[in-house]
Amino acid sequence: MAIAVVEHTFVVSQVHMTHLCKKTLVTVVNGQFPGPAIEVMEGDSVAVHIVNKSPYNITIHWHGVKQRLTCWSDGVPMITQCPIPPNQNFTYRFNVAGQEGTLWWHAHVPCLRASLHGALIIRPRDGASSYPFPKPHEEIPIIIGEWWEKDLSKVGRNLRDGSLNDDPSASTINGKLGDLFNCSGVAEDGYVLDVEPGKSYMLRVINAALFYEYYLKIAGHKFTVVAADANYVSPYTTDVIAVSPGETVDAILIADAPLGRYYMVAQPVEPPLLDTQAPVYVTRGVVQYNRNHNYDNSTATPVVPEMPGMHDTMVSFNFHGNLASLHHPLRPTPMVPVRADEHLFIALGLGMVPCQVGQSCSKRQGEENFIVATMNNVSFHLSSTTTPLLEAHYYHTGRMDDVALELPDRPPRAFNFTDQALIPEGPKEALLEPTSKATVERRFRHGTVVEVVFQSTALLQGDSNPMHLHGHDMFLLAQGLGNYDVEKDVARYNLVNPPRKNTVHVPNLGWAAVRFVADNPGVWFMHCHYEFHLSMGMAAVFIVEDGPTTGTSLPPPPMDFATCGNYQSYLQTKKSEVSHISGV
Ligand code: C2O
């Protein structure tokens, strides 16, 4: 097949949708929730024209696309580009090379990704018959999401100000709430997958939810996991899939159960009981065998799967621990770097910073503080709203140096990171609370092998952390519970067939060790994919310097690339009221 340019136009606008008896204004692409799927073949070029008819500044991020030498198209507001103001257009152009499987796209402005997202499917260049597993009869995206009645941009501002009181109204499979939700007693529609006995279905599972990891099960059936984060894995059979926000899982479902109807259930995973417990939204759809077989599927009550406990985080730990890269003669996988040039130990947690003027903050122990999320005790914060970091970096305008703080190699002090006594507020935890805000960055020479150990902590909460790196895949070498111990845990590293992931689920009260090769020049966001952690500052930027040749250096921005200056002059001439162009 010849290399194609796959073009799409995404019109971002607000439409009314009605669920749970309530008409809600939702920001969507092309009127759809979830948004349209982009389907390409490995090596294709993609061009997506964004027409912003919404009242918000928007960017779209192509989650998991490596963007080799196209950092300009990565879609992170004020990091790689100026966000697209209302009534403006922007075109993203990039190639999808060296990757196959399921990725997705989403808005990268606070919280709006809850309704602005869709699948990005990359098939092998020579067609589905060259999958490294038997060709499935059909391929189906399964997007787990949330239904929000609240104004999402308001929710984003609340999170930034440390308020954690907003919850979704329901959860969804492919945009449908399912029969556990109702409007005046009438069940909401659920997602229905019609199957034929004996056929196989590749489910492309995406977690697009803001807040929760989910467990997915289908009564009476098993899955064979064949890929994760658009990297093939060695086939792994399981009756439950664990998928954290930002992760994707490709799994084969074989319709080999007795003719009937079976619930497909997506259940959020709750953090430990000591944490604040949010309302739990379980959503379900139905897998039904179709009617051509002297079987009437309209009346049978679906079989209900037995779900793991709400707090059973071990199911996720085991699922992630069972992923291993596929070694396949036709799919050479990159070698795992045997040693690292730089080692980072990143503690992930919450902390407090003093309240700012005009901010509503909680008063504790006589002081006004508000809660932020941190890496090594610094919370990410962007100050300028006029020059994106990538532009400053590329043109050496010096802004990077003015504002940036280097992400420290390790937390400022060692403590028992996973001591559950730190979860409730108290004297022990109060000592560790004070933190600061900065534009946290870390610079790497081209080709540096970076090892990062992410350590989840019990600071004010015992949650897990799906850590996402833009522009690179990470080798997931090992994960563990409790505190990482270099003496014994290095010996457990899988240097033979570790899975490659763009989003690594760092277990709650545990750790994950990754390596990646910093060989894609640009300014790359690295952050937790829980929206509350991200909006509260659990983020940093990794700057990868140019290599020695043009083929290893970031080219200039595309000719039509808009700067904030372009947008501002436009806005001035239009006399539009836009108080600030900022998305982060
Ligand atoms: Cu899927 Cu920076 O995000």
Predicted confidence band of residue 584 (pLDDT cuts 50, 70, 90):
very low
Report CA(535)–ligand 1 centroid distance (Å).
Answer: 12
Q: What is the mean pLDDT of residues 14-31?
A: 98
Calpha distance 232→39 (Å, rounded): 18
Nearest alpha carbon to residue 393 among 80, 93, 109: 80
What is d(CA 555, CA 390) in angstroms, rounded to the nearest whole number? 12
Q: What does the pLDDT average to over 291-304?
A: 74
User: Two tokens at 350?
Assistant: 């919450």
User: Looking at the structure, do residues 271 and 375 belong to the same domain, yes or no?
Assistant: no
CA of 196 to the centre of ligand 1 (A): 36
Cα 467 to averaged position of ligand 1 atoms, centre (Å) = 9
What is the DSSP code string of 65-114?
---TT-GGGS--BTTTB--B-TT-EEEEEEE--S--EEEEEEE-STTGGG
Checking DSSP bridges between strand 283-289 and strand 192-195, what pairing results, if any? Answer: parallel
Query: Ligand 1 centre from 367 Cα, in Å?
Result: 34
Residues 540 and 440 in one domain: yes
pLDDT(469) > 50? yes
Residue 273 binned pLDDT confidence (cut-offs 50, 70, 90): confident
CATH of the domain at 351: 2.60.40.420
Please give the C-alpha separations between residue 55 and each of 14, 52, 92, 576, in angstroms, as whole numbers. Answer: 8, 8, 20, 11
Q: Does pLDDT of 571 surpass 70?
A: no
Query: What pLDDT score was predicted for residue 292?
Result: 66
**Is the CB of 527 within 6 Å of ligand 1?**
yes
Quick check: CB of 525 below 6 Å from ligand 1?
yes
* More confidently predicted of 583 and 525: 525
Helices (H), 94-188: 152-160
Q: Who's near 118: CB < 8 A, 6+ residues apart? A: 29, 32, 34, 35, 36, 37, 38, 104, 105, 106, 143
Q: Which helix (H) or strand (E) holds 186?
A: strand 186-187
Tokens at residue 187, please?
């069940």
CA distance linking residue 539 with residue 469, whole number of Å: 10
Same domain, 189 and 268: yes
Q: Which of 218-232, 352-366, 497-511 has the lowest mean pLDDT?
A: 352-366
Q: Fill in the DSSP letter of residue 428.
A: H
14 domain-assigned: yes
Ligand 1 pocket, residue 468 CB under 6 Å: yes
Residues 6+ apart with CB under 8 A from 367: 354
Q: Are 576 and 567 in contact (CB under 8 A)?
A: no
Which of 364 and 193 is assigned the larger pLDDT? 193
Considering only residues 190 and 569, tell me which one the structure prediction assigns the higher pLDDT: 190
**What domain count does the chain have?**
3
Q: Which residue has the CA at smallest separation from atom 1 of ligand 1?
A: 63
411 & 503 share domain? yes
**Residue that wins the pLDDT comparison between 21 and 584:** 21
pLDDT digits (tens, 9 = 90+) for 69-126: 999 999 999 999 999 999 999 999 999 999 999 999 999 999 999 999 999 999 999 8
Task: Say how far apart CA 484 and CA 162 lie, in whole Å.
Answer: 29
Q: Tell me which residue of 542, 558, 411, 521 sits closest to 66, measured CA to CA.
A: 521
Q: Radius of gyration over alpha carbons of the chain, in Å?
A: 23
Q: Decide whether any atom of ligand 1 lies within 6 Å of the 204 Cβ.
A: no
Specify the pLDDT at position 2. Answer: 73
Q: How far is the CA of 183 from the centre of ligand 1 (A)?
A: 33
Residue 533 Cβ inside 6 Å of ligand 1? The answer reads: no
Using 50, 70 and 90 to split pLDDT, how confident is the model at 354?
Answer: confident
Quick check: 577 pLDDT over 70?
no
> Looking at the domain assignment, is residue 559 inside a domain?
no
Structure tokens at 131: 């999958």
Q: For ligand 1, what atom is nearest to the CA of residue 104?
A: 1
pTM of the entire predicted model: 0.95
Are residues 97 and 168 both part of a single domain? no
| Element housing 541 (H / E) | strand 539-544
Ligand 1: nearest atom to the Cα of 503: 1
Among the atoms of ligand 1, which is closest to the Cα of residue 534? 2
Nearest-angstrom CA–CA distance, 85 and 312: 43
Nearest-atom index, ligand 1, CA of 113: 1
For ligand 1, say whether the CB of 108 is within 6 Å of any of its atoms.
Answer: yes
Checking if the pLDDT of 294 tops 90, the result is no
Shared domain check, 423 and 377: yes
Does residue 257 sit within a domain? yes
Residue predicted with more confidence, 360 or 522: 522
At 274 the pLDDT is 77
Within a domain: 364:
yes
**Nearest 5°: phi and psi at 180?**
-85, -5
| 165 or 486, which is more confident | 486
Which residues are within 8 A (CB) of 321 and not within 5 positions of it... i.e. 6 or more apart?
479
Residue 290 CA to ligand 1 center (angstroms) comes to: 38
pLDDT band at 581; cut points 50, 70, 90: very low
Residues 315 and 385 in one domain: no
Write down which residue in 333, 354, 372 finishes a domain.
333
Does residue 226 fall inside a structural domain? yes
Ligand 1 centre distance from Cα of residue 392 (Å): 21
Residue 164 confidence (pLDDT): 82
From 303, 333, 363, the end of a domain falls on 333
Q: Is the CB of 104 inside a 6 Å radius of any atom of ligand 1?
A: no
CA torsion, points 144, 149, 150, 155, in degrees to nearest 10?
A: 0
Same domain, yes or no: 389 and 455: yes
Q: Which atom of ligand 1 is nearest to the CA of 470?
A: 2
Task: Dig out the tokens for 8 from the structure.
Answer: 């799409």
- Sheet of 45-52: strand order equals 22-29, 5-19, 45-52, 89-95
The residue whose CA is least distant from atom 3 of ligand 1 is 63
Q: Residue 108 has what pLDDT? A: 97
**How many Å lie between the centroid of ligand 1 and the Cα of residue 107?**
9
- What is the structure's pLDDT at 476? 98
Q: Which two tokens stand for residue 56?
A: 């918000």
Which of 159, 158, 584, 162 shows the shortest CA–CA distance to 351?
Answer: 162
What is the reported pLDDT for 375? 97
CA distance 371 to 433: 9
Helices first, then strands: H and E counts in the chain: 8, 35
Residue 132 CA to residue 332 CA, distance in Å, equals: 12
On whether residue 82 sits in a domain, the answer given is yes
Residue 12 pLDDT = 98
| Interval 537-554: pLDDT, tens | 999 999 999 999 999 999
Ligand 1 atom closest to the CA of 106, numbered from 1? 1
320 and 380, same structural domain? Answer: no
Tokens of 148: 């929000």
Which one is predicted more confidently, 366 or 187? 187
For the chain, give the mean pLDDT. Answer: 92
Q: What's the CA-to-centroid distance between 246 and ligand 1, angstroms?
A: 7
Banded model confidence at residue 573, pLDDT cuts 50, 70, 90: low
DSSP 8-class letter at 60: E
Please tell me if the CB atom of residue 117 comes closer than 6 angstroms to any atom of ligand 1.
Answer: no
**What's the pLDDT score for residue 583?**
41
- Per the domain annotation, does 578 fall within a domain? no
* Cβ atoms 366, 531 nearer than 8 A: no
Q: Do 108 and 14 belong together in one domain?
A: yes
Q: How far apart are CA 507 and CA 145, in angstroms?
A: 21
**Is the CB of 113 inside a 6 Å radius of any atom of ligand 1?**
no
Residues contacting residue 553 through CB under 8 Å, at least 6 positions apart: 69, 521, 546, 547
Residue 178 resides in a domain: yes
- pLDDT, residue 439, reads 93
Residue with tokens 């192509």: 62
Does residue 19 contact residue 183 with C-beta atoms inside 8 Å?
yes
Instruction: Name the pLDDT band for 363 (thresholds 50, 70, 90).
Output: low
Distance 124 CA to ligand 1 centre (A): 24
**Based on the domain organization, do 368 and 500 belong to the same domain?**
yes
Strand ranges in 210-324 using DSSP code E only, listed in sequence order: 214-218, 223-228, 231-238, 241-243, 248-254, 261-268, 283-289
Whole-number Å distance, alpha carbon 21 to ligand 1 midpoint, is 32
181 and 306 both lie in a single domain? yes
Domain of residue 147, residue span:
131-333
pLDDT at 332: 79
Query: How confident is the model over 384-408, as pLDDT tens digits?
Result: 668 999 999 999 876 666 668 999 9
333's tokens: 């996988």
Inter-residue contact 217 to 265 (CB < 8 Å): yes
Least confident residue range of 82-96, 125-139, 426-440: 426-440
Q: How confident is the model at residue 575 (pLDDT cuts 50, 70, 90)?
A: very low
Percent of the chain past pLDDT 70, that is, above it, reads: 92
- Show which of 307, 333, 359 is a domain's final residue: 333
Cα 249 to middle of ligand 1, angstroms: 16
Distance CA(571)–CA(565), nearest Å, equals 10
The continuous run of DSSP H or E covering 572 comes out as helix 564-574
State the distance from the centre of ligand 1 to the C-alpha of 529, rounded, in angstroms: 6
Asked if the peptide bond before residue 136 counts as cis, ω within 30 degrees of 0, the response is: no
**Model pLDDT, residue 105:** 98
- Confirm or reject: Cβ of 106 under 6 Å from ligand 1: yes
Q: Is the CB of 8 under 6 A from ligand 1?
A: no
